Structure 1
């Protein structure tokens, strides 16, 4: 079968479409299983619906319903798809799964079951039923070429579907996460060419496609001078769906059973309390009590735990969804005023908080992503394998140095020190100068004596949205180990 062309109205998602098209076009005998996951509003349903339509396949979108109602709806959909005189009668879920597999007896058929967790909530043994149906040697499997795709937005559930001793572990030939758009793709999607404006918008709405289309009705800032007005009318406006979206992101995940606790944990991280101890102190709990809520938030894809690349055993937490960071830092403390439509007033008095708790940390993350994904490897002395933040102690002065960026290369195949490609300072609202460069030089000197690291070619990277002093620019032009990164470079190089 020739490669399916991606519909022109699907933005980006070339990799995801190619994987799905390859899976659907597999002409081998036997049923194959794929699992698609990703938070809501990322475009999973559009991808899968268009795939089913392009291949002449079957698409079924589950809803929150009882098992009986879901079986009836599935039978009705199967009746329409097969051209039967009426709904297909499905006695139970074993019969339903066999009916889906039977669709591929004559040719490869794409079968999509969207929002699969809804079905499992009503029929908890459904994964085991599918496992049994996919048993090697069973005629329903070997005599069919159904390409079964299970999709869901509950990340904690979908992540466990193929893990450990789960019934479907080892059965899937495709496991595809659909992530939010990266910061560059998000700027293109929103039609924003000004890099500083792109960072500001991304720091609020991130890379979720639906936030532009359905949630603000394609209302994007017309330019830098329109940004503040856009925030008030599109984000802080109770009449827009985006206004309550951050709250719904928590409410939608079935594993988040204590919203108050999870909101408090997220608020602590948004305030800059990145360690478990810092979070515990902020919310008034013991650090040992936070294992479960932190794990649940990680499984839900709302928090990520990032290791300190220079201190083994230490890590920090970061909120993955920009809208949640914005909500916790700006909206939640002023919720009553916002509901009273005093958005302009709230926004005026939130500028410093927005810059420090939202914009600054998100700019740091964008720079780290640029280093990892977009920067020319020659600029940094080799391919970057890991990037993150770190803290280093200076024993002579008994002070700590926080590094906004640490880039490591691949470990040498034959063993030996790992290349430290770059250390960096990243600031959104401050112009960087010679003093910042000298601090990085001092840190590099400290790292020379650290075992396990090769600092021979370590670059000193300084990134700023405000630019650099003439003195620093002159040094960078003369010394190849000094790399300056402004907002324009983040979106073009």
Structure 2
């Protein structure tokens, strides 16, 4: 690594390595990089740290007209170059001609690029011209590195897609994602796994929720978690209080916020199929196609395949804070506005366990399985699925299904079938359900080495522990294992 990662930057080793390789690539021409990610993930801090380490030029765009933005850009460039006065640009073509010529050999970062694009739609074509013209072998293109960054995922994702002007022009496409649950625990200094999981179920892996939004105030232990939720999440004077709503309202493609809240509320209530969401919203499934597409483009939801049904897809919310908002805060918003946070939280504990912690724990168990080879190999895919027992005529939901990479002319090999329980002590009944699923799948899949995994945050019965001791294909996995 040519530029050492500063100690002020927590984790983000992968991101820093990618930026370092991009900036220090010996290619002599102009290179374009695209950095995106949902809000609050630390993109700005990451890129500001980069330009500080490399002596680059950083410009943060704002919502403004084209002439206002050009004026601000000219002043920022003059300040950076330490020249008197300002640069008076009349077009973005002129502005980029100047900044790329004057920043020869340096890194140029344009943050919140969608703001500029919104006011100046041809801007992407201007940058395309800059990249293409400076790659001509007979011209001295200047060894500049141009990075465009933004949080509007639908806009940033479209910069390089389809017939977009910048398609095929970028040498870097970096998505800054939330911390994974283990990294988030370290960031929050949450050494106790149960506390780390509770915090992650609300704040996820978003760094700003610890730094800017709660001022580094972390519950000192499990016994302080409830008061922390009341003071830092449900308190209307806390920045986190409005964040769930803001995450949705800030997406430019969302117009009818009530419909999107209804869709997210349905998913938070456990309706993960298109038909289930539609029934919860009182709409036809076809009426929700656009809303679901917009939420996916914005990165607020994701679509996962059902492990056992190729034509069935499951919708899940990406941001834990939105799940918490839809399940706990939105139904009691008027009471929270009256300052009844303590009462609301007391009355919501059961719903918090079933609608927030239960699904969240299942997701952590899938994440654990996806990055673990304890079941014989690293899985190629980890998902959940539903299979119908034709004998009892009842559906059986399987929380964790891990499969190996497909091999030609052989049935798909299942590595693990798992059930996850946040608040239930698991026993032989849960094991027998998994064993029955393994039997049902034997006619279609290779289950000869399939492990049965019981994930529980509440422990395991003595007879289940005894069964696992006598069978290497039975795995009992608790919270400590997830964070180990």
Q: TM-score range by the shorter chain?
A: over 0.9
For the residues of structure 2 that align with 1:392 and 1:103, how far apart are their CA atoms? Answer: 63
Corresponding residue to 2:400 among 394, 402, 405: 405
Secondary structure of the structure 2 residue equivalent to 1:173? strand
Q: Report the CA distance shift for 1:139/1:98 in structure 2 as closer, same or farther (over 3 A).
A: farther
Corresponding residue to 2:175 among 172, 177, 184: 177
Q: 2:484 matched to 1:487?
A: no
Q: 2:416 matched to 1:422?
A: yes
For the residues of structure 1 that align with 2:440 and 2:90, how far apart are their CA atoms? Answer: 70
| Runs of 4+ in structure 1 over 4 Å off | 136-142
Residue in 2 that maps onto 1:380: 375
Corresponding residue to 2:386 among 383, 391, 397: 391
Secondary structure of the structure 2 residue equivalent to 1:489? helix
For the residues of structure 2 that align with 1:103 and 1:490, how far apart are their CA atoms? Answer: 51
Q: 2:231 matched to 1:233?
A: yes
Corresponding residue to 2:248 among 244, 247, 250: 250
Secondary structure of the structure 2 residue equivalent to 1:380? coil
Residue 415 (structure 1) shift: 4.0
Given that 1:30 and 1:141 are in contact with CA atoms closer than 8 Å, whether structure 2 keeps it comes out as no
Residue 44 (structure 1) shift: 0.3
Corresponding residue to 1:265 among 263, 266, 274: 263
Secondary structure of the structure 2 residue equivalent to 1:264? helix
Residue in 2 that maps onto 1:476: 468
Residue 396 (structure 1) shift: 2.4
Residue 397 (structure 1) shift: 2.3
What are the Cα deviations for residues 303-358 of structure 1, in whole angstroms up to 9, with x where unaligned?
11111011111011111100000000000011111111110000000011110110
Residue in 1 that maps onto 2:425: 431
Residue in 2 that maps onto 1:333: 331
Secondary structure of the structure 2 residue equivalent to 1:454? coil
Given that 1:101 and 1:140 are in contact with CA atoms closer than 8 Å, whether structure 2 keeps it comes out as no
1:127-166 to structure 2, matched below 5 A, reads: 127-136=124-133, 137-138=135-136, 142-166=140-164
Q: Report the CA distance shift for 1:240/1:139 in structure 2 as closer, same or farther (over 3 A).
A: farther
Structure 2: 5+ residue stretches without partners:
none
Corresponding residue to 2:446 among 454, 472, 483: 454
Of 347-356 and 394-403, deviating more is: 394-403
Residue in 1 that maps onto 2:215: 217
Given that 2:184 and 2:200 are in contact with CA atoms closer than 8 Å, whether structure 1 keeps it comes out as yes
For the residues of structure 2 that align with 1:258 and 1:392, how far apart are their CA atoms? Answer: 36
Residue in 1 that maps onto 2:311: 313
For the residues of structure 1 that align with 2:409 and 2:101, how far apart are their CA atoms? Answer: 53
Secondary structure of the structure 1 residue equivalent to 2:132? coil
For the residues of structure 2 that align with 1:445 and 1:139, how far apart are their CA atoms? Answer: 65
Secondary structure of the structure 1 residue equivalent to 2:459? coil
For the residues of structure 2 that align with 1:122 and 1:21, how far apart are their CA atoms? Answer: 31
For the residues of structure 2 that align with 1:257 and 1:167, how far apart are their CA atoms? Answer: 27
Residue in 2 that maps onto 1:61: 60
For the residues of structure 2 that align with 1:140 and 1:213, how far apart are their CA atoms? Answer: 49
What is the RMSD computed on CA atoms of the aligned residues?
1.3
For the residues of structure 2 that align with 1:420 and 1:141, how far apart are their CA atoms? Answer: 57
Residue in 1 that maps onto 2:92: 93
Given that 1:31 and 1:141 are in contact with CA atoms closer than 8 Å, whether structure 2 keeps it comes out as no
Residue in 2 that maps onto 1:39: 38
Secondary structure of the structure 2 residue equivalent to 1:99? helix
If the length of structure 2 is used for normalisation, what is the TM-score?
Answer: 0.98
Secondary structure of the structure 2 residue equivalent to 1:213? coil
Given that 1:425 and 1:436 are in contact with CA atoms closer than 8 Å, whether structure 2 keeps it comes out as yes
Residue in 2 that maps onto 1:111: 108
Given that 2:388 and 2:395 are in contact with CA atoms closer than 8 Å, whether structure 1 keeps it comes out as yes
If the length of structure 1 is used for normalisation, what is the TM-score?
Answer: 0.96
Given that 2:67 and 2:90 are in contact with CA atoms closer than 8 Å, whether structure 1 keeps it comes out as no
Given that 1:385 and 1:410 are in contact with CA atoms closer than 8 Å, whether structure 2 keeps it comes out as yes
What are the Cα deviations for residues 166-195 of structure 1, in whole angstroms up to 9, with x where unaligned?
110100000000001111111111111111
Q: Report the CA distance shift for 1:415/1:175 in structure 2 as closer, same or farther (over 3 A).
A: farther
Of 78-87 and 19-28, deviating more is: 78-87
What are the Cα deviations for residues 73-98 of structure 1, in whole angstroms up to 9, with x where unaligned?
11011111223222112120111121
What are the Cα deviations for residues 226-266 of structure 1, in whole angstroms up to 9, with x where unaligned?
11111101100111100000111011110111111111110
Residue 132 (structure 1) shift: 1.4
Residue in 2 that maps onto 1:466: 458
Residue in 2 that maps onto 1:361: 359
For the residues of structure 1 that align with 2:207 and 2:267, how far apart are their CA atoms? Answer: 25
For the residues of structure 2 that align with 1:36 and 1:274, how far apart are their CA atoms? Answer: 30
What are the Cα deviations for residues 136-176 of structure 1, in whole angstroms up to 9, with x where unaligned?
55589752111000000001111111111111010000000
Secondary structure of the structure 2 residue equivalent to 1:418? coil
For the residues of structure 1 that align with 2:162 and 2:138, how far apart are their CA atoms? Answer: 26
Secondary structure of the structure 2 residue equivalent to 1:422? strand
Given that 1:43 and 1:210 are in contact with CA atoms closer than 8 Å, whether structure 2 keeps it comes out as yes
